[in-house]
A and B are shown apart, each in its own frame.
Chain A
Amino acid sequence: MQGKEAVVFKGNRGGVSVQVDRDAPLGAVVDELRRKLSAAENFFQGASVRIELGERPPDPVEQRVLRELIQAHGLSVVDDTGATPPRAVNGHVPRPHADGAGGGARGQAGPAIGGGALAPERGGHDGAGEPCLLVRRTLRSGQRLEFDGSVVVLGDINPGAVVVASGNVVVFGSLRGVVHAGARGDTDARVIALRLQPTQLRIAHLISRSPDGQVPGPSGPEMALVQDERIQIEAYVP
């Protein structure tokens, strides 16, 4: 989360793309790519990925190295031609709709997604114009998911699992693990779960933990958000 990253995974309208920093040496790029692919374990399994070099000078050898590395982790690589990107990539959905502000650009990664920049995001709570990752399974202990954007989990987040997102986190299931929403400092980020019983919740720079005794929680969906520099939990009313 700190410093400039050589490789950034982005979810966007077309699926997943890998953005490579312009100046990073190939060694650093390969190392980081390998680390991130391994960290996501089988998360990206079967997904199609576009390699985006941005302003990085194209180098056929380099491209082949990256391509083979990605393929070795069970992903397929789509040519960065700007043609219609693949849809319904495993676990990834296009964001529902792009609002005005240039979000309608076709083909290449939407302009709403800064080119690997780590600038703090603003006003993430309405989610518009922001990448969103759909996770169609339960995250179990020891699994860690990091995503630049919002995350929707159709399943549970078990104790010992960690989700870190720069946007919101919505869990259609029980949230019992650790979630860090607004991880780049967005205090408007929210965490919503059908059953909100996290071990620990973090929003932006704030941390709160579950109370120590056994507290029977309410049965309905709840939402955690930042109010008065504290993480508050309230019943979620759509």
Chain B
Amino acid sequence: MAGRVIVVTSGKGGVGKTTTTANLGAGLASLGRRVCLVDADIGLRNLDVVMGLENRIVYDLVEVVEGHARLRNALIKDKRLDGLFLLPAAQTREKDAVTPEQMKALCAQLAEEFDYVLVDSPAGIEHGFRNAIAGATEAIIVTTPEVAAVRDADRITGLLEAHELSNPRLIINRIRPQMVRRGDMLDIDDVIEILAIDLLGIVPDDESIIVATNKGEPVVLGGNTRAAQAYRNIVRRIEGEEVPFMQLEEEGWLSRLRSLVGFGRKQRGA
């Protein structure tokens, strides 16, 4: 059976697509799944750096698509997890070096071998975005609790629907409970109300992410920070488990959230 091809996208840059992709991939692989991460951000590749695999790159996605390298030779095996692989983007090329049709064929090929293919989308809604979503069968939208990011997430949701990727799921990244409580940050309810899509998870803002990212170590694999826990929960939800949302602050918050996102309803996919 073919694997699931999930694109991780956001519209706005800097909200954590690449970090999310790396952590979800590592999380799924640590559960024993075979996972391939695809960096679709041609010309501005980052996923290799976040994964700490930059020094292993020999061939890249563009060379595979152009037939100069075999897919199997371009895939980089992760240094920590057996089932985790990365297909790096080309850095010295541009987005239009690849067409959506080629990406579609590539994703289909990868889906035959892997349980999950996670495609890290570039920011924006142009050629690179269309490439990233071309082969996807599901989408995860990452946003932060900022008006601009939510606006872009809404735009992306519409575009995904137009490409027959309905029912994208949402990750709200970098929530700072204290700020939400003070009313200085959009809270989850606000975001959900605007976007009206299923919530896949909430990731608290956490300095450990910055440290881990700079070291090239997905935070999900190390220790018990709140962010790591949040990613592990998301991974389990992707796998079809029902996992309660993390309690970020006081009691009433969680129950409010539950009622809002309809926690407990049947999960899709698996």
Contact = CB atoms under 8 A, between A and B. Distances in A.
Interface residues of A, number: 14
Interface of A: 39, 141-144, 159-160, 162, 199-200, 207, 209-210, 212
Contact of B92 (A162, A199, A210): A162
Contact of A207 (B43, B52, B58, B79): B58
A212 B91 contact: no
Contact of B55 (A142, A144, A162, A209): A209
5 contacts: A159-B54, A160-B91, A199-B55, A210-B55, A212-B55
A200 B92 contact: no
Given A142-B91, A144-B92, 16 more contacts: A141-B91, A160-B45, A160-B91, A162-B92, A199-B54, A199-B55, A200-B55, A200-B56, A200-B57, A200-B58, A207-B58, A209-B55, A209-B56, A212-B52, A212-B55, A212-B79
B66 to A, nearest CB: 12
B78 to A, nearest CB: 12
B130 to A, nearest CB: 21
Contacts of B57: 200
Nearest to B52: A212
Nearest to A214: B215
Nearest to B49: A159
Nearest to B57: A200
Interface in B19-40: none
A199 B57 CA distance: 9
A143 B92 contact: yes
Interface string B44-82: 110000001011111000000000000000000001000
A128 B79 CA distance: 42
Contacts of B45: 160
